[in-house]
Structure 1
Amino acid sequence: MKRPSTAVAHRALIASAVVLIALVGAPIASGHAILEETSPGNDSVLQQSPPAVLLRFNEAVETAFGSIRVYDCSAKRVDSGQITRPADRIVSITVNPQLPRGTYTVTWRVISADSHPVSGAFVFHVKSPGACPAGIAQQVLGKGTPGSISALFKFARGLDFALLLLVVGGSAVLALVLRSAAPTLRRRLYGTVAGLGVGLVLAAILCIVLQGAVAGGFGLSEAFRWNTVHAVLRTRFGGAFEYQLAFAVAAAVVAFGASRFRPDVLGPLTILPAVSLIPTLSAAGHARTSGTLAFAADVTHVAAASAWVGGLAFTVLALLLAGEDRWPLAARAVPRFSMLAVVSVAVLITAGVIRGIEEVRPWPGLHAAVSNLSGWRGLWDTTYGLLLLAKIGLVLPLLALGAYNNRFAVPRLRRQIASLVERRRFLRAAGAELVIMASIVGVTAVLVSQPPAKASVAAGPFAKTFPIGNLEVNFVVDPAKTGPNVMHLYFSTPSGLQAGVADAKISASLPSKSIGPLRFNLQKIVPSHYTMSGAVFPLPGDWQLTIEARRGQFQSLQTTVSVPIRKG
C-alpha cells in the first residue's frame, strides 16, 4: 500500500502531465494576414490595361510558396509570372500591357507571419465586363491545405512547444534548484532531459516538413521532397527552426554526457543551449513582426513559462524518484524552486499583460492609455479581450496559494519540522496550483485561436473570423467608415479548408438610431468568397450585421456581428 504522501505526489505528477497535455493541445498563437487593399480594386472597371496587380496586407507576408496569378475568361494566364515586393506588406505582379476588353480573375496565396497560408480571389474589368463577369476563380483556385495535414501541423507545433518547455525548465531547475540531489538521481534526470531533447529534434523536423505541406497546399508525399524542405528553410519560419534544431541537438548531447559522466561538471552546461531555444518560438510566429517590445515580451513570456511549468514538472519528478531522501531533498529544493516560481510568475504576468495589450490595442504611451479609456474597448467588447481578463483573473488564486506556501509550508519544510499533516497539506496545495495552471492553459488554448482584438477595434478596415453554423467566415469591411465600403466574406471549415455556400446575404441595422435593416446584395466570386462594392453606412456607430448563408437545399446558417463604423 502506498504511503499517503507518495499517493498525493503521484496525483501531483498526473496533474503536471495534464498541464503538459493541455499545452500540446493548445494551438500556437494565430491571427492570419488580412488583405487590406488591391489595385485594381475588386470588380472595378478600368479604361486601359493596368501595368501591374498589387496587393497590400495588414502585416508582412512571404511568397516562398505563394503566388499571384491573373487569368482571362479562358483560364489563360496574362501575368508575367515574376512577383515583386515593393514592401514587406505589399506583393505585386506585372501583367500584359495590352489586355483586351473583358473580365480578369486574380488569384493569390501568401504566407502569414504566423506561418499560415491565406488565399483568395477578386476580379477586375478592362473597359467593360466580359463573357465571365463573375470571374473564373472557382475553376482555377486550388483546393487548399488538406484538413488532416492542417490538424497534424497544429499538433506538431503544440508538441514542439511542450517539449521545449520541459527541456528549458528541466535544465534550469537541475542547475539552480536540484544541485543538492544525489548524483544518481541527477544522472537520471539529465537522461530525461536528453530524451526530451531528442524528441524536440524530431518534433522540429516534423514541423519543418509539415510547414511545407501547409504553406504549399501539398500532401505528405510532396512535403518530404527536398525541394519543398529547402523552400521552407529559406523562409523566416524555416530559419528559426534550423536554429531550434541545432540548439536541441546540443542540449541533448550535453545532457546525455551529464547522465553518463560528471553531472556536476557537464550538467550546468546544458542550460546554455536550452536557453538559446527560447527565441526560436517567437521568431517563428507573429511576435517577430510586431516590434521590438512585442518580441522581447514574447521571449520573456516563454522563458518564464518554461521555468514555471517545466521546472515544476521536474521538481515533482525529482521528489518522486528520490525515495527515502524525498523530504530531506524537499527541505533543500522546494524553497529554491519557490523563489524561482515567484520570479517566473511575476515575469510571466508582466510579459503576458504587455503582449496581451499589444494585441488588444496599439500601445499609445502611458498617459494616453490611461486618459483614453474608450481605446481599451477591446478588453471587454471582444472575445480575445474577455479571455485575456479571465486568464489574468485565474492567476490571482495561484498567487494566493504561492503566498500561502511561502509563508507557512516552505519555512517548515526548510527546517524539516513539517508534520505528516503539513506535508500532505503542502502537496495538496501544490496539486491545487497545478489544477489552476491547467485552467490557465485551457483558457490560453482558446485565447490564441482568437483573432487579436485590435483587428476588430483598431482604426482601419474591420476584419474578423467567427463561426457561422458548422463553418467559419472571415468578414472584411473596408474602410469601415461612413460612406461606401467594400465587403468580403470568405467561408471555410474550422480546419481552414475553403467551404462553398450556395447563397449568402447581409443585412445591417444601427439600433441606437433605429436604422435598418438595410439589405446588401452580394456578388459570388466563388462559392467560398462573396463580395460587395459600395456598401453605404450613412452614420457612424456599432452596426449589427446579420450574415445568412445557405448550403445545399435545406441547411441554413446565420450569425450576427457588431461592426464599429467610424466617421468618414
Structure 2
Amino acid sequence: MFVYPRYLISIGKACSRIAAGLLFILLLIGSPGTAGAHAELEQAVPDPNTRVDVSPSAVELYFNEAIEANVGSITVLDSRSNRVTEDVAVAGSDRKSLRLALPQLREGVYTVSYQIVSADGHPVSGSYIFVVGNPPESVDASAFNPHSEMGHEGHTAETQLTTEQFIIYAVRILYYLALLLAAGLVLWSVIGVRVDAASKVVPGWELFALRALLIAAILYIFVHARDILIGFPSEEYSRLFLQTAVGRGWIALLVLTVASFMLLRLGRTVRVLWVAALLGLESWSGHAVVFKPALLTVLMDFIHLAGSAVLAGGLALLLALWFADRKEAGRFAARFSRAALISLALLVLSGIGMTLMFLPSWSYLFYTGWGTLLLIKTGLVCLVFLTGGLLHLRARRGDLPTYSLLRIDIGLMALIIAVAALFTYISPLPANAPVYNHKMGADMHYTLRISPNKPGVNKFTLKVWLPEEVGMPKSVLLRLRSLDREELGPIDVPLEINKEDKDLTSFEGFVKADYVAEGPFIPFAGGWKAEIRIMDQEDNEKVEQYEFTNY
C-alpha cells in the first residue's frame, strides 16, 4: 500500500481548514439578516417634512442598525444654505443614533443632511426639511408688483430697464432730486448754518425746493398710477389709491408736500418732524419694507436717505453761497465738509447693510439691472469720497472751494441720485419662472411642473404615461439634489396621487398616472437637479433628470 509523505498530509490538512474557513465565510455572507443590509433612518427628531412651533434643541437621528461612531455627521442649513452651527454630531451609546445640538432657530425652512457609515462599511446619506414657526414667503421680483394687492394676478410688471419706460425714469429722477434737495435744505436750516449770508439765501432756495417737490410729486404719482393701470378701467383708480399700500402712500406724500409750505412759519421741531415723516414715508414705500425684519431694513433705508439729503442740501447751499459771498462759502465749506464725510460713511454702511439683507449672496449683483446700477452707484460714491476729501483738505487750510471741485461734486451727486431713482424701481432679486419639463419617449412620457419655483413652499406636479401593456407604475419617486451643495444628500418629495386631476392630455396607447405634492422641499435658492425614478410592475426602473435654477 502506498503511504503519503507526512509533509503532504500536513499540507492537505491545512488546505482543508482553509477551505472550511472560506466556506464558513461564504455562508455568513449569504445568510439573511447579517451584514448584507445597510443602516436606514428609522426615526428623526424633528420629524421630516413637518412644522414645529418652537425651535428644537437638537436634531436626533435613529438608525435600524449600528453605525460607525466616529464617522457620522449631521449638517443643518438655513434658508440661505448657511450652516446654523459648527458643532459636531455625537453618536449615542448604542451606536444607532446621532445627536446634533442646535442654537435657537428663527422662523424659517431648515435642511437636515446626514452622512453616516453603517457597520458593514457602506456610506449612507440623505436630507430632509423641517419648518420652524410660520416663516414669510421668499422674496423675488414678484414681491414688488402692486397688481397683486388689487387682484390683477394676470398682469406682469416690468422689473428690468426698458427704453419704453424712459418717461417714468425721467420723472423718478426729478422726484428724487426734489425730495432730497427739499429735505436737505430744511435739515440744514435746523442744524444751523452759522453764516450771515445764509439767512438771505436759505429761505429762497427752500421755497424753490418745496415747490419743485410738489410738482415732482404730482408728476411722479400721475405717471406711476397710469403705468400700473394700463389696460384696466378707470374705476380701478379708486381701488389703487384707497385699497393699496402704494396708493395710500401717495396720498400721504401729497398731504406732506402741500403742508410743507407752512414750514416757513414754524419752528425747528416741526421741521425735523416733517423731514422724518417725508423720508420715513419714502423708506416704508420702497423695497426695504418687503424684506425681513422690515423694521431694520426700513431704518437702514431711512438713514441712507437722511445721509443723502444732508449731502444734496449742503451741496446746493454751498453752491448758492459761493455765488453770493465767496468768504461765507469758505466758512460754510468747513462745516459742510465734516457733515459730508459723516453722511458718506453712513451711506456706505447702510448701503452695505441693505445689500446684505436684500441679496442672498454678492453674486446676485450680476443677475439683474439692479445689481449693475448698484455697482455704478458704488463707483460714483467712491469718486464723491475723493472730491469730498479734497474739499475737506482745502477747508482745513482755510482755502476757498474751487468752482471746478464744486461742479464735479454736484455732478457726481446728481448722477448718484439719478442712479438711485432708477434702481429703486427695479427688483433687487431676479424673477423666478415656473419649472416645466415635458419629455416624450417610446416607452414613457412625463411632465414635471414646479410652481412658482422659488425657495420655500412650491407645488410639484408629476404626470407619467406608460404603455398600456405595461400598466400603471408600481412606484414613482421625485428627488431633489442641490447642485451648489453637492455634499448634501437628496431630498425626497412626498408625492401623492392627484385625485383632482383635470388635465385632459392623453396619448394613444398609454395610461397616465398623476402625482402632486406641496411644501418647502426647495429650502434655499440655487441650482437644483430633479431626479425622477419610475418603477413599472415588472420592477424595471426608468430614471430621468432635469436641472433648473431659482433665486
Give the TM-score normalised by the residue count of structure 1: 0.46
TM-score by length of 2: 0.47
Which protein is richer in helix relative to its size? 1
